[in-house]
Amino acid sequence: MTQCCINPSILSADFVNLEAELKRISNADAVHVDVMDNHFVPNLTIGLPVVQRIQAVSPVPLDAHLMIADADRWAPGFADAGLASVTFHAEASIAPIKLARELRSRGAKAGMALRPSTAVEPYLDMLSELDMLLIMTVEPGFGGQAFLDVTLPKIRRARAAIDGSGIGVAIQVDGGITEETITRAAEAGANVFVAGSAVYGADDPAAAIERLREEGSRSLRKATAE
């Protein structure tokens, strides 16, 4: 809970110069790769072949966020590509427990994401099957959106359930993360933070990562002390 991880999203990077953009965030904990199919969300980004090339040149591990339909069919291929973490949406999976086990069996950490309006309670019994729970703090599909404070109670409930279970599941938040909003998210119980515009919109992305990590770590320590 006390370890603050910053995973910049390349959705805000220059896609023409991705290898150079990855080098600018070499001090990150992981690279957040948003895969969108224009079905589950109204946007289209990149697919598995491009992710495989990113995997080959990235200086830090890849954290894939699959905003795609039929996750049960397509997600295992991303684990096979050697990614450190693969996150699918609960709303896009018919058999989320089976899929989480499949991802783990293929060597990736298993993450499950929830839209802002999706309740966390129906999924608390499967926490032991997950390495990470991603609580979206914006509607998935586009970068640059404002943080939704309405998601904070859900983060708190998820943190309470995880702490009560004794299972080491990380809580990731994605959407509208800045030096200001990371404080609220961390105090609510999140410890892995996806930041796109706040990192790649800065003159020095590496310095922006360090500032976010400092703010997040401070808030996590405060939350733990309380």
Q: Which of 29, 34, 63, 131 is catalytic?
A: 34
* 8 A C-beta contact, residue 173 and residue 190: yes
Residue 225 CA to residue 98 CA, distance in Å, equals 37
162-188 core/surface letters (b: 16 or more CB in 10 A; e: else): beeeeeebbbbbbbbbbeebbbbbbbb
Whether residue 174 lies in the annotated active site: yes
Q: Name every residue whose Cβ is closer than 8 Å to that of residue 73 and which is 6 or more positions away in sequence.
A: none
Whether residue 163 lies in the annotated active site: no
Residue 128 CA to residue 162 CA, distance in Å, equals 9
Partners of 109 in the β-ladder: 85
| Residue whose C-alpha is closest to residue 123's, from 162, 151, 68 | 162
Residue 151 CA to residue 115 CA, distance in Å, equals 9
Going along the chain, which residue ranges are E strands? 5-8, 31-36, 62-67, 85-89, 109-114, 132-136, 170-174, 192-195
Q: Give catalytic residues, as residue numbers.
A: 34, 174
